[in-house]
Amino acid sequence: MITPILYREELKEYDFGPGHPFRGDRFQIFPKFLTERVNPDYRYNFVKAEVASEADLSLICQPEYIKFCRDYYRAAYLGQEDDSDFFRYQTLDNHPIGRPGKVEEAARMVIGQAKLAADLIMAGQYKKVISIGGGLHHAKPGAGEGFCIYNDVAFTGLYLQKRHKLERILILDTDAHAGNGTAEYFYNNPQILFIDIHQDPRTIYPGTGFAADIGGPDARGTTINIPMPVNAGFSSYKMVFEEIIEPVTEEFQPEVIIRNGGSDPHFADELTSLGLSVAGFKLIGQKVKKMADVCGGREIDLIASGYNREVLPYCWLSLLAGLTDWHINVEDPITPPPMLRIDAKVPQTKEVIAEVKRNLREYWQCFQ
């Protein structure tokens, strides 16, 4: 089956400027890499979505925040930004360096892709839809941070819930950083199960996502944080999927799965300290594909992150190969250091799994 990949060239404008960790060239690197290695005639097609409207953004953002982002980043692109209100709405992570791209306009494109992905899935046209540029999981209703302006993960979940009337939605965040923005949107929403597998928050931004955080008063047990030990690799991730994520998915019986996360769990990422190789991303894709069997294969995938440009396209392609069952071999461009060739963090990961199960056994039969 052909897989639609939502993408438009203008996404390269999601660029905070020279010297910033998040540059728009990722949206040029990966499509070129993909087309060179996978024949589009029978594997996938690129689909261009409309830009999100003010009404679309209002589903997830406060009006004054939308206005600030529109005006500030437009002025920044023109070299005329006024920082007087910047820290009222954004953290330093989102401050442009030098001359940025048309950041806010590109952020609207990402939300537009999330909307189209949901509509395509619900129309039954496709079982799986990929959004390149998605997964901006740190943004909140009235604040941006962590290179994220508008949270398309939250938009996808809320749009499916409110527009398409779904009652059981599973969001799986495999980004190395905890999805603090997404967590806040859904912490008290029992219809949306949020599973977040990320690096130990004591060692990385944003410092949230501890195993004891399991949801608000009306949604206890529907937030599942899995804080991975530093340098956790293939065996640790496989164990977490098989002992926590897959059993919960089977019990929850979601109507659709949304996954977000890019290449930053790779051992060579410049901002993180996890231990996956390129093969680990294929594992994630394969596991998510298997999980989606419970909902007829319906899955939306949002991909943007990663801070080592050399490994980024290899990880993204390996992930897609697992998700789509493309029979292609993706080799790691960097040889793992000796200390990571064997996953030495399995014992610590077992302790994390035990803690997660203890915290959640009251809410899930599979942990009792």
CATH number at residue 81: 3.40.800.20
| Residue 305 CB-half CA count within 13 A | 29
The total of structural domains in the chain comes to 1
Q: What percent of the chain has pLDDT over 70?
A: 100
Say what the pLDDT of residue 202 is.
Answer: 98
- pTM as predicted: 0.97
Q: How many CB atoms lie within 10 A of CB 76?
A: 24
pLDDT for residue 42 is more than 90: no
Which residues are paired to 226 by β-bridges? 197
- Enclosing domain of residue 344: 3-367
Chain centre to alpha carbon of residue 253: 21
Report how far residue 251's alpha carbon sits from residue 294's, in angstroms, rounded to the nearest whole number. Answer: 10
Roughly what angle, to the nearest 10 degrees, separates helices 312-324 and 26-37?
Answer: 50
Element (H, E) at 220: none
Report how far residue 94's alpha carbon sits from residue 89's, in angstroms, rounded to the nearest whole number. Answer: 10
Hey, CA dihedral for 1, 31, 37, 153, is it positive or negative? negative
Report how far residue 297's alpha carbon sits from residue 293's, in angstroms, rounded to the nearest whole number. Answer: 5
Report how far residue 267's alpha carbon sits from residue 246's, in angstroms, rounded to the nearest whole number. Answer: 24
Hey, CA dihedral for 213, 219, 220, 224, is it positive or negative? negative
**pLDDT band, very low/low/confident/very high, at 1 (cuts 50, 70, 90):** confident
**pLDDT band, very low/low/confident/very high, at 244 (cuts 50, 70, 90):** very high
Is 214:363 a contact under the CB 8 Å cutoff? yes
Which residues are paired to 165 by β-bridges? none
pLDDT in tens, 295-352: 999 999 999 999 999 999 999 999 999 999 998 989 999 998 888 889 999 999 999 9
Report how far residue 220's alpha carbon sits from residue 309's, in angstroms, rounded to the nearest whole number. Answer: 39
Report how far residue 154's alpha carbon sits from residue 258's, in angstroms, rounded to the nearest whole number. Answer: 10
